[in-house]
Amino acid sequence: MYSINHNKETNILEIQNSNNSVLGKIHLNQGASLQELTLGGKAIIQDLSPLNYQDSFASSILFPFANRIKDGAYSFNNEKFQLEKNQVEEQNALHGFVHNKRFKVIVKEVLGDTAKITLAYNELNKTAGFPYTYSIEVTYIFEDKTLSLQVRVKNTDSKTFPFTIGWHPYFISDNLPKSTLEFDCDKKLILGDRNITTGVEDVKNKVALNIENKQLDDCWVLNSDKVQFKTPKYQLNFSSSVKNNFLQAYTPPRLNTIAIEPTTGVSDSFNNNIGLQTLEPNKEYRITWKININNIER
Domain of residue 253, CATH code: 2.70.98.10
pLDDT at res. 213: 84
Q: If you average pLDDT over residues 264-281, what whole number do you get?
A: 98
CB atoms within 10 A of CB 111: 10
Check whether 73 has a pLDDT greater than 90: yes
Check whether 298 has a pLDDT greater than 60: no
113 falls within a domain: yes
Check whether 119 has a pLDDT greater than 70: yes
pLDDT at res. 112: 87
Check whether 118 has a pLDDT greater than 60: yes
203 falls within a domain: no
CB atoms within 10 A of CB 298: 3
- Residues whose CB is less than 8 angstroms from the CB of residue 189 and which lie 6 or more positions away in sequence, other chains included: 197, 199, 200, 218, 219, 220, 221, 246, 266, 267, 274
Check whether 135 has a pLDDT greater than 70: yes
From its phi and psi, is residue 11 left (phi > 0), alpha (psi between -120 and 50) or beta? left
d(CA 176, CA 46): 15
45 falls within a domain: yes
pLDDT at res. 204: 82
The secondary structure element, H or E, covering residue 53 is: helix 53-56
204 falls within a domain: no
219 within 8 A of 182, measured Cβ to Cβ: no
Domain that holds residue 135: 2-174+246-295
**Alpha-helix runs per DSSP H in 205-298:** 269-272
Domain count, the chain: 1
132 falls within a domain: yes
* Proportion of the chain above pLDDT 90, given as a percent: 93
pLDDT at res. 297: 61
Check whether 296 has a pLDDT greater than 80: no
Q: What is the CA radius of gyration of the chain?
A: 19
8-48 residue pLDDT tens: 999 999 999 999 999 999 999 999 999 999 999 999 999 99
161 falls within a domain: yes
CA-CA-CA-CA torsion sign (43, 49, 53, 56): negative
Which segments of 98-169 are extended strands (E)? 104-111, 114-123, 134-142, 146-155, 161-163, 166-168
83 falls within a domain: yes
159-190 residue pLDDT tens: 999 999 999 999 999 999 999 999 999 999 99
Distance of CA 261 to the CA centre of its chain: 5
pTM of the shown model: 0.96
22 within 8 A of 38, measured Cβ to Cβ: yes
131 falls within a domain: yes
250-261 residue pLDDT tens: 999 999 999 999
